[in-house]
Amino acid sequence: MTSVPTLPLGTYKIPIIGIGTLAVTDGEALEKMLNAALEVGYRHFDTAFLYRNEHLIGKVLNKWFTSGKVKREDIFVTTKLPFDGTYPEGVEKFLKESLAALQLNYVDLYLVHFPVRIKPLNGKGLEAAEPLPTDHLGVWREMEKQVKAGRAKTIGVSNFNRRQVERLLKEAEIKPVCNQIELNVYLPQTQFVEFLQANGIIAVSYFSLGNPALKQQRIQSGFWPAGKPDVLADPTIKRIADKHNKTPAQILLKALVQRKIVVIPKSVTLSRIKENFQLFDFDLDAEDVEAIAGIAIGERARLGQFKPLQGHPEYPHPVLDG
C-alpha cells in the first residue's frame, strides 16, 4: 500500500491527498466509494454538515474501526461548520451534531465553511441564501474552545480571503492551520497560497479538477455557473499527461501536490478513486511546471460563485492578490 506523504498542520499532520464527499448522499454509492478508498489507502476524508452525508461516513468508518482494519488514529476526518451556523452559539452545537453523525469523539480538522453567515435554508438550495451579519472573531473564539474541549484536534477556515485570514492571525489564540479554497491550475491563486504557507497555514484545494459533473448537470444557479472552461480537457495538460503516461486528472492533482497543497478529489467511480491516488511514482519537471503556469486563467475560471451573497461585506471573492 502506498504511504501517503503528510504536511505539518500545526503540531499535527494532514495527508496530502484525501477524498471529498460533496454531493454524495446516496448511501449505497457512498459506502462503495469509501470502502474502495480505504482499500486503496486513503486515510483522509473530507465532509461537512452541509453535505448531509456525515451519518453515512460514520457508518462506514465505524465498521472499519470495529473490524480492526484501521485504528481511529490512522484516519483523518475534516468536517465544517455550516453557513447558517456561523455564529458563536452555533459552533459547539453543530460540531456536536456532526460528531454524533460521524460516530466520533473528535474530528481531526474543523473548519468554518464560509465567511458569511446566512439564514437557515429550510430545505432550499444555496442560490436562495440570505446573508446575516457575521462575527468572525466571536466564531473563532468558540472554535478555539472546541480544541480545548478535545472535540477538534485542529481548526481552520474555508473560503476565507487574505484580509479575513490576517484578522484571525492577529487576534487568535489558536491560529488557523488551513484554508480550504477553490484552487486548480486555471485558478492557481499563487500569491495567496504563498501568503498562507508563509504563515504556517496549509492550503487545501477543492475543485482541483474543475468540476466534471457540470457538463451533465446543466445547473443554471449562480452557485454552479455554466459555460466555464474545462481544465480536464486542456491540451497542455493532455500533452503532459501523455509524456508521463498518466491521465489529465493525475497531472492536475500532481501540479498542486508539488506546490505542497492538499488535494481532496471526489469520485464515485472506483477506477478513478484508485487513479487519483497514484501520484507518488512520478514528478513534474521544470518544463512541465512552466507550461502549467502558462495556462492559468484566474478569476474567470472560478466556479464557486454565491451571487446572492456578493453584496455582503465579508463576501470573499474575488481574491485580488493572485
Mean pLDDT of 196-222: 76
* CATH node for 6-309: 3.20.20.100
Q: What is the pLDDT of residue 184?
A: 96
Beta bridge partners of 262: 204
Min mean pLDDT across 71-80, 145-154, 227-236, 267-276 is at 227-236
Q: What residues does each domain of the chain span?
A: 6-309
Over residues 213-252, the pLDDT tens digits come to 654 453 444 555 556 778 999 999 999 999 999 999 999 9
If you search the block for the grid coordinates 503540531, which residue do you land on? Answer: 11
CB 185 within 8 A of CB 296: yes
Q: What is the pLDDT of residue 212?
A: 63
**Percent of the chain topping pLDDT 90:** 80
Residue 13 CA to residue 321 CA, distance in Å, equals 28
Ramachandran category for residue 104: left, alpha or beta (phi over 0 → left; psi -120 to 50 → alpha): beta
Q: What is the pLDDT of residue 219?
A: 47
Mean pLDDT of 158-171: 97
Q: What is the pLDDT of residue 213?
A: 62
Q: What's the grid cell of residue 295? A: 495556462
Residue 312 CA to residue 275 CA, distance in Å, equals 40
Please state the three-class secondary structure of the chain as a single string.
CCCCCEEEECCEEEECECEECCCCCCHHHHHHHHHHHHHHCCCEEECCHHHCCHHHHHHHHHHHHHHCCCCHHHCEEEEEECHHHCCHHHHHHHHHHHHHHHCCCCEEEEEECCCCEECCCCCCCHHHCCEECCCHHHHHHHHHHHHHCCCEEEEEEECCCHHHHHHHHHHCCCCCCEEEEECCCCCCCHHHHHHHHHCCCEEEEECECECCCHHHHCCCCCCCCCCCCCHHHCHHHHHHHHHHCCCHHHHHHHHHHCCCCEECCCCCCHHHHHHHHCCCCCCCCHHHHHHHHCCCCCHHHCCCCCHHHCCCCCCCCCCCCC
Q: What is the pLDDT of residue 157?
A: 98
Residue 303 CA to residue 183 CA, distance in Å, equals 10
Q: What is the pLDDT of residue 308?
A: 84
Is the N-terminal amide bond of 318 cis, ω within 30° of 0?
Answer: yes
Mean pLDDT of 30-56: 96
CB 315 within 8 A of CB 306: yes
- Residues acting as catalytic residues: 51
CB 117 within 8 A of CB 132: yes
Q: What is the pLDDT of residue 220?
A: 46
Mean pLDDT of 156-160: 97
| Per-residue confidence band for 310, with pLDDT thresholds at 50, 70 and 90 | confident
Q: What is the pLDDT of residue 25?
A: 87
Q: What is the mean pLDDT of the chain?
A: 92
Residue 214 CA to residue 245 CA, distance in Å, equals 26
Instruction: Confirm whether pTM is higher than 0.85.
Output: yes
